Amino acid sequence: MQTAAGKLMKVFLTRRIPPEGMKILSAAGVCEVSQWDSDEPVQRADLLKGVQGAHGLLCLLSDKIDAEVLDAAGPNLKVISTLSVGYDHLAIDQIKKRGIRVGYTPDVLTDATAELTVALLLATARRLPEGVEEWGLELVEASLAVVTVSPAAQWESLDWDALAIARRLMPFGVKRLLYSGRTAKDYAAEVNGEYVPLDTLVSESDFIVVSCSLTPETQGMCDKAFFSKMKNTGVFVNSSRGTVVNQEDLYEALSSGQIAAAGLDVTTPEPLPTNHPLLTLKNCVVLPHIGSATYSTRGIMGALSAQNLLGGLQGTDMPKALVK
């Protein structure tokens, strides 16, 4: 597709994306692609420079797309396509105000993320990294809780993971499955779950898995008060967003024996600096946000984000539009 001046539209990719996505962009032949040619997150200054004059931006969770970036891009920007299901890194109000369309990648990573959460829960519960020194806890006859507290409007986001995680964990012989959160009622019954207030869930569970979108109400939700209600044998797992947890309070809970262990796929910041106190704890397993990191899922996400980008550039339907 060409601009009024007869030039191809400019798009900026903030990272190397899976080849499935690159193939779609090249085959379309409608845009000139420039890319932060690395597997590491783009530096802020390079993002601000790279986006200048772009008609399309393809970004990842690690890229904060706020008013400064939108201003740096300028009035050409028609579409932002994020290679993620979460969109808490996007200043949606600012984006809408400028009439920019947004595509994202819901649904396609639910299975991979649920699978990773199960792996993380088992590694944390059975103390795999320190198995020589420490015995673990098992799921048989345990009470398992999945927390999802997102507002109904965000139902199409990380909440699906909660159901997928529960479906995978129940066959381990879990005795009770507790749910909390506004949207959870809708599907607690499907997995024979009990819908309970958050306080009950926290105090009665042996394993707590947090799987919710980041909202003002979930930010900092897992804090000192939350951990102090957990059982001393309790295992805490977070595969949603790092800022749902107050990490100082979690460190205190883990190091004082208030709770038994924690598994985190998400942290603040990401990646966690190598000298971070949480990394000194034997009872804390930390992963670098790899919920969707399988070859097949990232390939599908890459293709979908390329199609969303092209739809936005060409003014046609995007397969998965967050802002139409």
User: Is there binding between residue 213 and ligand DGY (CB under 6 A)?
Assistant: no
Contact predicate 212/190, CB 8 Å: no
Query: Phi and psi of 149, rounded to 5°?
Result: -125, 25
What tokens were used for 313? Answer: 């550039």
DSSP assignment, residue 21?
H
Instruction: Provide the minimum distance between the beta carbon of 110 and ligand DGY in the complex, in angstroms, as a whole number.
Output: 10
Of the two residues 63 and 206, which places its CB atom closer to ligand DGY in the complex? Answer: 63
Which residue number, 83 or 259, has a Cβ lying nearer to ligand DGY? 83
Asked if 291 touches ligand DGY (CB under 6 A), the answer is yes
CB 113 within 8 A of CB 133: no
Q: With contacts defined by CB under 6 A, how many residues of the chain interact with ligand DGY?
A: 9
Amino acid at 271: P
Cα–Cα distance list, 97 to 65, 100, 179, 196 (Å): 14, 8, 36, 39
> What residues numbered 48-87 form the site for ligand DGY, per CB under 6 A?
61, 84-86
Under the binding rule (CB under 6 A), the answer on residue 292 touching ligand DGY is yes
Q: Which region, judged by CB under 6 A, interacts with ligand DGY, from 143-151, 162-170, 171-179, 288-296?
A: 288-296
Rounded to the nearest whole angstrom, what is the least distance from the CB of residue 107 to ligand DGY in the complex? 11
Q: Which of 81, 113, 183, 238 binds ligand DGY (CB under 6 A)?
A: 113
Q: Which residues of 231-245 are buried (b: 16+ CB within 10 A; e: fewer)?
A: beebbbbbbbbbbbb
Whether 289 is catalytic is yes
Edge-to-edge strands, sheet with 284-286: 194-195, 176-180, 143-147, 207-210, 235-238, 261-264, 284-286
Q: How far is the CB of 11 from ligand DGY (least distance, A)?
A: 20
Q: How far is the CB of 177 from ligand DGY (least distance, A)?
A: 22
Number of Cβ within a 10 Å radius of residue 75: 10
Interface stretch with ligand DGY, choices 13-21, 173-181, 285-293, 304-312 (CB under 6 A): 285-293
Instruction: For the CB of residue 138, give the shortest distance to ligand DGY in the complex, in Å.
Output: 26
Contacts with ligand DGY, residue ranges (CB under 6 A): 61, 84-86, 109, 113, 289, 291-292
Positions marked active-site: 289
